[in-house]
Amino acid sequence: MTALQRYADRRALVTGAGSGIGQATVLRILEEGGRVAAADISESGLKDTIDKAGVRAERLTTVVIDVADEGSVQSAVAEAIRALGGLDTLVNAAGILRSGHFEQASLADFEQVIRINLIGTFLVTREAIPALRKGNGPAVVNFSSTSAGFAHPYMSAYAASKGGIQAMTHALAMEFSKAGIRFNSVQPGSISSGMTDGSGEAKQSIGPGLPADTDFALFGKTAPMLPLDNGAIFAKPDAVAAVVAMLGSADAYFVTGTEVRIDGGSHM
């Protein structure tokens, strides 16, 4: 258990909270004393988050959300803010990954990734802004990716969505700087999550599976440099959750308009 209590007086909304990094972020903020609204498209995933929260679940509210649907976002964000009594930290962790040969990608496939990852981040953030304006040291943490700035084969739609999120984060940081709302993003790489390990309802229904003829030599520049336990190639989600918690807290009061890469040195 962490000794930090940076969220003792903070209210946070976390999307993608039913698995992976989003779930780890919810648990981390609860550990630090925060009140959290966990949002996800998967009801079973949210139940799992409640179970893992244990006694801290008394400070946890769950809402079902489809971040790709404007109406769902409007109602879910409003419900979350009502339950929390306001909003201080927003974490946009919801997203999907679909991999495949670029020339074989359908327009529907490409648009779906953009819709959930990029447009979903836009919709949730837009609906949260009025509450954040009234929040205590308000902060938004978006999820970009190492793929936004470095070559990840077979992931063009995902990379495009994450590059868009990173650029949008910079623009919003400037636009809302005088309102005191901080915007930053994290760039996870080589992290076990609902998108990479098969957990999470969206992942199971969409599947990021690499092509059968994948050239794994192309992934040479994405391997982490730092050693992991038992020879693992993916770090646990808590590696990202710890950084997200810092960026969403008052400790990062002078940090805005930037991104933090969390990849074990893969892209040095």
Residue-wise pLDDT for 210-249, tens only, equals 888 888 778 766 777 787 887 777 889 999 999 999 999 9
Active site residues: 158
Cβ count within 10 A of residue 85: 9
Contacts of 178 (CB under 8 A, 6+ apart): none
Helix (H) or strand (E) holding 127: helix 120-133
Cβ count within 10 A of residue 236: 16
Residue % of the chain over a pLDDT of 70 = 92
CA dist 157 and 139 (Å) reads: 27
| 0.85 exceeded by pTM | yes
CA dist 177 and 251 (Å) reads: 17
pLDDT given at position 197 = 52
CATH of 11-261, one of 3.30.450.20, 3.30.1490.270, 3.40.50.720, 1.10.3210.10: 3.40.50.720
Domains of the chain, by residue range, sit at: 11-261
